[in-house]
Amino acid sequence: MNRYSRIVGTGSALPGEPVSNAELVRRLAERGVVTSDEWIVERTGIRQRYLAGAGVTSSQLACQAARNALAAAGLEAREIDLIVVATSTPDYVFPSTACLVQKALDAPGGAAFDVQAVCSGFVYGLATADAMIRTGIANRALVIGAEVFSRILDWNDRSTCVLFGDGAGAIVLTADTCPGVRAARLHADGRQEAILRTAGNLSGGAIVGHPYLTMNGQAVFRLAVSVLDTVGRETVAAAGMTLDQVDWLIPHQANVRILDATAKRMGIARERVVVTVDQHANTSAASVPLALDQGTRDGRIQPGQHVLLEGVGGGFTWGAALVQI
């Protein structure tokens, strides 16, 4: 009998109250940083973001999203035998955020590890968990994208600090005799590592290098639109399907202009794209599962439908997964 993995529950966590562009503009003005609601909306489509308060960590947000996903799936945390957390803002250098989530959920014994593929992390984690379930290494997995990117932003750099937000999204993935995940494809081009990075590390009790995110926005933009198109087509073809069979497109939520350009290149109608970047800004590894949860909970994504999930980000990394709900 064929063995597949299938999504049986989704969940989200967003810290505190949303911070509108107007409020962010006011806060930045206090430090002499000039920006505007008009610029942010016109260039990115972002209208608000959630910013974690002091002491709120990726593992806490991951746990909250995981509990919501488990409740949706009707499963207990103790039934989970694999936890994969995609994050670039882990609580610690080690142990992994996944191990901290496992402890907080009181679900010891299964495998737990983090995936570091920046904004592609959730899709990388999903492809990894799918492979582990199909090969019998795991039966029931939590795949979580969780970030507190606000911690690695330079609040004096207006070209990056207005773009990101904090949050977490989670799915429960279980073994099944029918799919589920129909195909997944992952890629990276390490030659492009410098266009988006946080190039600092801990050494001798101090940060060595640069502790904040830096980005060549236009280079990232161009690459993102190109690879989201190609990997989306590659993944749909690998599933033996065609783009017109895709009910919903959920690309990484970085910029509404990237979402629009990707949908246009792929010939997918704008109404079939789940867009959350306006509400959440760019939450890196959390953006795809947050959008999947939103589209599921508001009733747009229906059982049996095909959803194309796409990640792209630092590394440079990209990937996609075609899932039947």
Q: Which residues are catalytic?
A: 119, 252, 282
State in angstroms the smallest separation of the CB of 158 from ligand UT7. Answer: 4
H helices of 138-283, in order, are: 158-161, 217-238, 256-266, 277-280
Beta bridge mates, 15: none
- The answer to whether residue 88 forms part of the interface with ligand UT7 (CB under 6 A) is no
Alpha carbons within 13 angstroms on the beta-carbon side of residue 80 total 34
DSSP code at position 245: G
Candidates 37-45, 58-66, 101-109, 297-305 — which segment interacts with ligand UT7 by CB under 6 A?
37-45
Angle between helices 121-134 and 287-297 (to 10 degrees): 80
Instruction: Please answer whether residues 88 and 314 qualify as being in contact, where contact means their C-beta atoms are separated by less than 8 angstroms.
Output: yes
- Indicate the residue among 78 and 264 with the shorter CB distance to ligand UT7: 264
CA distance 63 to 13: 9
Of 236-295, which residues contact ligand UT7 (CB under 6 A)?
A: 254-255, 258, 282, 284
Q: Which is nearer to ligand UT7, 167 or 179 (CB)?
A: 167
Residues in the chain: 325
Query: Smallest distance from the beta carbon of 256 to ligand UT7, in angstroms?
Result: 9
141 forms part of the interface with ligand UT7 (CB under 6 A):
no
Q: Is 12 in the site for ligand UT7 (CB under 6 A)?
A: no
State the number of CA atoms in the 13 A half-sphere of 75 facing the CB: 24
Residues 150-179 that bind ligand UT7 (CB under 6 A): 158-159, 162
Q: Residue 6 or residue 151: which is nearer to ligand UT7 going by CB?
A: 151
Q: Which residues pair with 311 in a beta bridge?
A: 319
Report the interface residues with ligand UT7, using CB under 6 A.
35, 39, 43-44, 119, 158-159, 162, 196, 217-218, 220-221, 224, 254-255, 258, 282, 284, 313
